[in-house]
């Protein structure tokens, strides 16, 4: 329980938060932010240290990557080599990186996450958290290596690349290079197809191991997926990409379809299932389909080849503009991107970046050249749409307030500091805000292309609580029930 500060102090805090965000918007309009480090005191309340900012008009494209051969070559790195690289990078760039483990694989390998940001060790108020996850299928390691090179690019380019500096100054980037290190350990370089190494050490496909929106997933939870679920429950990620191999396409939710139950009842053999899936595959669209298509196109169009819709094999379909709805490609149950979106409002897409699952190492440099710009530009999309805070009348932030864009049934929640973000395309919107002990509120707002919209919402105590004399001086929290993927407020 956190006691409230006096009214004046609360308004002072609200003013500080608004002042913190205002320069950020102005600099996003100019597309450059140069700032010193900021600190948040995680003790009672919250303290924001102001800083000097300067801006220059226009941001050049990220420069071409020049590898530092002494520290990271274009080869595949086993788990020990990967660990050494991450530890050495963290030691070499302590002001830009922080290394932590979210858990261990079946065989005891750490699931390392590297934070790359100008404030790597603590969440900065108003700064969104984003993530990349690689190697969820152990025999698809191109993404694993691309993420290591992305880390290397960020830390070596921060002082010389203005776009990278802006991105790291305004975003906390969490990179999990390998979610399935055990599967990778038994995979074979040069194997373009097949399933050896795809699964974890217990034989589970980790991208079929998450709770599902459309049907109950009875597969036993695995340590790797349990670690990821715990990870994303603690950090309010705004945007995410999961890197795969075996195709060349950006795939977006939903991965599953309401017809999945029917198909299961019809199928009696793998051949029958394949036939029915072929004829029944149809788009399964989210309420944020426009946003997901946009995010997928950002990646595909900045990629050297993806947007051409190149088919990897003559027998496989080409993808228009290099993107596809997941279920329209083929339905699957228990996928990670649907779980991120439905349960936590995180906009995740699946990035298939190599036709060959495990191509020879000499091709890695070309894969990096193809994906470098896409990997960077995709993360910058976290700064599109609406962002702001939810306050009580005293100006104190309301944690776990439930937020939903009207007409878009999948909602999200505020952080412990009352923050929220939502990626939206230009247009007119209405946001619905709920919090236990407060009267619900609707607010209209406009999104423009040039910069994110700042929106602070103040909730008033509910009339029932005021009439009954119930105190609302303690921090409120929302009871968020996910029954159908929608945010539902529990009855008082």
List residues with catalytic annotation.
352
Contact 155, 366 (CB under 8 A): no
> Rounded CA gap, 308 and 245, in Å?
17
Contact 201, 182 (CB under 8 A): yes
What is the three-class DSSP state of 260? helix
> Rounded CA gap, 185 and 12, in Å?
54
Distance of CA 424 to the CA centre of its chain: 15
> Rounded CA gap, 254 and 324, in Å?
10
DSSP 316-365: SPP-GGGEEEHHHH---SS-HHHHHHHHH--EEEEEEEESSSS--GGGHH
Contact 228, 131 (CB under 8 A): no
> Rounded CA gap, 459 and 437, in Å?
10
Q: Which of 375, 386, 392 is nearest to 149 (CA)?
A: 375
| Kind and range of the H or E run holding 272 | helix 270-280
Backbone angles phi, psi at 481, to 5 degrees: -100, 125
Q: How many CA atoms lie within 13 A of 13 on its CB side?
A: 25
Task: For Cα atoms 106, 111, 115, give the angle at the middle one, nearest 5 degrees.
Answer: 170
Contact 8, 24 (CB under 8 A): no
Burial per residue of 77-91, b for 16 or more beta-carbon CB atoms within 10 angstroms, e otherwise = bebeebbebbeebbe
> Rounded CA gap, 174 and 69, in Å?
24
Q: How far apart are the first and last CA of the chain?
A: 19
Contact 420, 397 (CB under 8 A): no
> Rounded CA gap, 118 and 170, in Å?
8
> Rounded CA gap, 338 and 209, in Å?
12
> Rounded CA gap, 24 and 3, in Å?
30
């Amino acid at each position: 329980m956190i006691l409230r500060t006096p009214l004046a102090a609360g308004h002072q805090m609200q003013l500080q938060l608004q002042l913190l965000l205002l320069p950020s918007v102005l600099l996003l309009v100019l597309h450059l932010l140069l700032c010193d480090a900021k600190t948040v005191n995680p003790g009672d309340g919250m303290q924001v240290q102001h800083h000097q900012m300067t801006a220059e008009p226009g941001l050049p494209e990220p420069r071409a990557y020049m590898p530092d051969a002494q520290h990271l070559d274009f080869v595949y790195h086993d788990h020990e080599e990967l660990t050494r690289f991450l530890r050495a990078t963290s030691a070499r760039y302590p002001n830009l990186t922080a290394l932590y483990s979210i858990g261990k694989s079946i065989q005891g390998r750490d699931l390392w996450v590297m934070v790359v940001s100008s404030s790597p060790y603590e969440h900065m108020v108003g700064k969104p958290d984003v993530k990349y996850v690689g190697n969820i299928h152990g025999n698809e390691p191109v993404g694993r290596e691309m993420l290591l090179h992305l880390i290397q690019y960020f830390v070596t380019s921060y002082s010389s690349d203005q776009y990278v500096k802006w991105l790291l100054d305004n975003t906390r980037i969490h990179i999990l290079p390998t979610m399935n290190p055990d599967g990778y350990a038994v995979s074979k370089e040069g194997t373009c197809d097949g399933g050896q190494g795809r699964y974890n050490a217990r034989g589970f496909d980790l991208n079929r191991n998450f709770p599902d929106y459309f049907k109950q997933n009875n597969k036993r939870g695995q340590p790797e997926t349990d670690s990821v679920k715990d990870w994303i429950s603690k950090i309010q990620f705004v945007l995410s990409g999961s890197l795969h191999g075996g195709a060349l396409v950006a795939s977006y939710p939903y991965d599953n379809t309401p017809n999945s139950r029917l198909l299961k009842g019809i199928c009696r053999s793998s051949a029958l299932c394949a036939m029915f899936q072929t004829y029944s595959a149809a788009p399964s669209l989210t309420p944020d389909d426009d946003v997901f298509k946009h995010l997928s196109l950002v990646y595909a169009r900045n990629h050297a080849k993806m947007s051409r819709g190149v088919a990897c094999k003559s027998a496989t379909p080409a993808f228009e503009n290099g993107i596809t709805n997941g279920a329209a490609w083929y339905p699957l149950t228990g996928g990670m991107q649907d779980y991120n979106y439905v349960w936590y409002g995180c906009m995740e897409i699946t990035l298939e970046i190599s036709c060959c699952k495990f191509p020879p190492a000499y091709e890695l440099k070309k894969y990096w050249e193809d994906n470098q710009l896409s990997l960077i530009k995709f993360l910058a999309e976290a700064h599109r749409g609406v962002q702001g805070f939810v306050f009580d009348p005293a100006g104190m932030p309301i944690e776990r307030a439930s937020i939903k864009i009207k007409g878009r049934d999948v909602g999200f929640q505020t952080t412990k500091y009352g923050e929220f973000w939502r990626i939206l395309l230009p247009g007119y919107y209405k946001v619905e805000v709920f919090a236990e002990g407060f009267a619900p509120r609707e607010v209209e707002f406009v999104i423009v292309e040039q910069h994110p919209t700042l929106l602070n919402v103040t909730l008033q105590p509910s009339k029932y609580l005021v009439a009954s004399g119930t105190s609302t001086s303690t921090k409120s929290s929302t009871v968020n029930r996910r029954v159908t993927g929608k945010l539902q407020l529990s009855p008082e």
